[in-house]
Amino acid sequence: MDLNQIFFLDNKIQEYEWGSYTAIQELLDKREDGGGGGDDVKPIAELWMGAHHKSPSDVIISSGNISLKELIDRFPKEILGSIAAEKFHNNLPYLFKVLAVENPLSIQAHPDITQAKKGFLDENSKKIAIESSKRSFKDDNHKPECICALTEFWALNGFRPVKEISKYIDQLSCKKLNKIVTEIKSLPDSLFIKSFFMKIMDFNEADKKEVVDDVVMQSKLYSKNDSVFNWILKLHEKYPCDIGVLSPVYLNLICLKPGDALFIKSRVLHAYLKGVGIELMANSDNVLRGGLTPKHVDINRLIEILDFNPLKVELLNTCDINKYQKDYVSYAEEFKLSVILPVNDKDGFNFKTKSVEIILCIKGSSKVVNIETGQITDIKKGDSIIIPAAVKQYSMYGDAVLYKASVR
């Protein structure tokens, strides 16, 4: 099979209750119900581009579609490139997504590589089925990730400094929370945060209800002037009995503007609250949840993997690679996220490939030319293509805005 060519991808969608009835549908030009969400129409939360065993993309070829995972298994060096194939054991190391967050996702964290391997083996030994709702470790990989906003995007990321946590709890005037803070105030920061988190997660149902009721009542007094309290109220609307409504008090609340990107390290507690974004991560589906969800919560395992140090939230810097491409400076060896802006040069602009690339068009249209063979691929909004490592160089011209995933 000739791999020196550019291929279109047919990608899998994930329908979760927190998704949108319009965002990914509009991107793919697949509006079915006018955006209202009828009885037979489910919200679409994620579009997956990659080779994860759960939902691998299909590669569109003349003889019929073939799974990207299968194609990589057959031709690892031609698709991934020799260096990436050897380094990542003939696997595509990243998973590329579009996220459409209409309602808050669960509070969650992802294990580091050592924790993932240990947890995966442990759950295998207990014979917990991979598809079981009780399963936390779906594979043995870690899951560092970055999120890049396409719209205004609200998120929680990492624990706040202790002074901020204490300040917000003082404003909430909740007796049970104030008592906890008084008892642990002399602890070092990471131990303070760990103790606070464990104590609120250990509330019985009666205490939980009392605390949530108190917090919601007080939040109404401050919600117009502080988004922390406003988000407490929004979370309470969706999860009225969940202690996770407190999360904006102890986690950093951030609003990304379109084009802003955030890196989520392994072991960091976080949640995506609202917005549409591009997500790029190591090729894993390991999630340990800590609230705002009807799904399985293994609090003991979550506490085992969490980093309880306060986190200073910083946006990812961008680096101009050329006049059309910007890279987001990431910390993961598995992936790199780039944005390609409209290429206005008459003769196009040349890009060199070092490894496999997946490109998604989110706006406009463009022509992508395999320089060696002359193959021309026309892409438009919603299209995604894979450029194997066998394609050494390609050019591009048009008015498209594209996001590109590649190996760092």
pLDDT of 38: 54
Tell me if 299 is assigned to some domain: no
User: 241 falls in which pLDDT band (50, 70, 90)?
Assistant: confident
User: Is there a single domain that holds both residue 214 and residue 106?
Assistant: no
The answer on 276 and 143 residing in a single domain is: yes
Q: Is residue 62 part of a domain?
A: yes
Tens of pLDDT along 14-58?
999 999 999 999 999 986 544 455 557 899 999 999 999 889 999
Domain final residue, candidates 224, 247, 270: 247
Last residue within a domain, chosen from 193, 220, 247: 247
Is 274 in the same domain as 176? no
- pLDDT tens column, 318-367: 999 988 999 998 889 999 999 999 988 776 789 999 899 999 999 999 99
User: Distances in Å between the alpha carbon of 306 and those of 115, 198, 289, 340, 372?
Assistant: 10, 11, 11, 35, 49
Q: Is 177 exposed, middle or buried (0-12, 13-18, 19+ CB in 10 A)?
A: buried
pLDDT tens across 124-133, in order?
999 998 888 8
Within-domain flag for 1: no
Residue 139 shares a structural domain with residue 279:
yes
Predicted confidence (pLDDT) per residue in 149-176, tens digit: 999 999 999 999 999 999 999 999 999 9
Residue 357 belongs to domain with CATH number: 2.60.120.10
pLDDT recorded at residue 39: 59
The secondary structure of 361-374 as a DSSP string is EEESEEEEEETTT-
One domain for residues 211 and 358: no
The structural domain count of the chain equals: 3
Whole-number pLDDT of residue 34:
45
Angle in degrees, CA 7, 259, 236, rounded to 5:
110
Q: Which SS3 state, helix, strand or coil, does residue 245 take?
A: helix
Q: Give bridge partners of residue 153 from the DSSP assignment.
A: 256
Active-site residues: which are they?
Answer: 289
Across the range 388-407, mean pLDDT stands at: 96
Same domain, 170 and 143: no
Residue 364 region, left (φ>0) first, then alpha (ψ -120 to 50), else beta?
left
> What mean pLDDT is predicted for residues 200-229?
96
Which is higher by pLDDT, 12 or 137? 12
Q: What percent of the chain has pLDDT over 90?
A: 85
Question: Average pLDDT, whole number, for the chain?
Answer: 93
Residues 6+ apart with CB under 8 A from 179: none
Looking at the fold, whether 200 and 214 belong to one and the same domain comes out as yes
- Residue 305's SS3 state is helix
Q: Residue 176 phi/psi, 5° resolution?
A: -65, -40
- Rounded to an integer, what distance in angstroms lies between the CA atom of residue 384 and that of residue 363? 12
Q: Is residue 303 part of a domain?
A: no
Same domain, 127 and 193: no
Contacts of 13 (CB under 8 A, 6+ apart): 24, 44, 46, 47, 48
Looking at residues 91-99, what average pLDDT do you find?
Answer: 97
pLDDT, mean of residues 232-252: 96
Measured in whole angstroms, the distance separating CA 277 from the mean position of its chain's CA atoms is: 8
User: Within 10 Å of residue 314's Cβ, how many Cβ atoms?
Assistant: 8
Q: What is the structure's pLDDT at 347?
A: 66
Give tens-digit pLDDT for 198-211: 999 999 999 999 99
Mean pLDDT over 81-98 rounds to 96
> Is 305 inside a domain boundary?
no
**Same domain assignment for residues 346 and 274:** no
Q: Evaluate whether residue 311 is within a structural domain.
A: no
Kindly state whether residues 226 and 351 are assigned to the same domain.
no
Tell me the residue ranges of DSSP E strands in 153-268: 153-159, 251-256, 261-264
- The answer to whether residue 313 is domain-embedded is no
Q: Residues 177-192: what's their mean pLDDT?
A: 96
**Digit-coded pLDDT (tens) for 251-304:** 999 999 999 999 999 999 999 999 999 999 998 888 999 999 888 888 999 999
Q: Which residue range is the domain that position 138 belongs to?
A: 7-156+256-291
Of 218, 247, 276, the residue that ends a domain is 247
Q: Does one domain contain both 151 and 167?
A: no
Q: Are residues 266 and 118 in the same domain?
A: yes
**Is 215 a member of any domain?**
yes
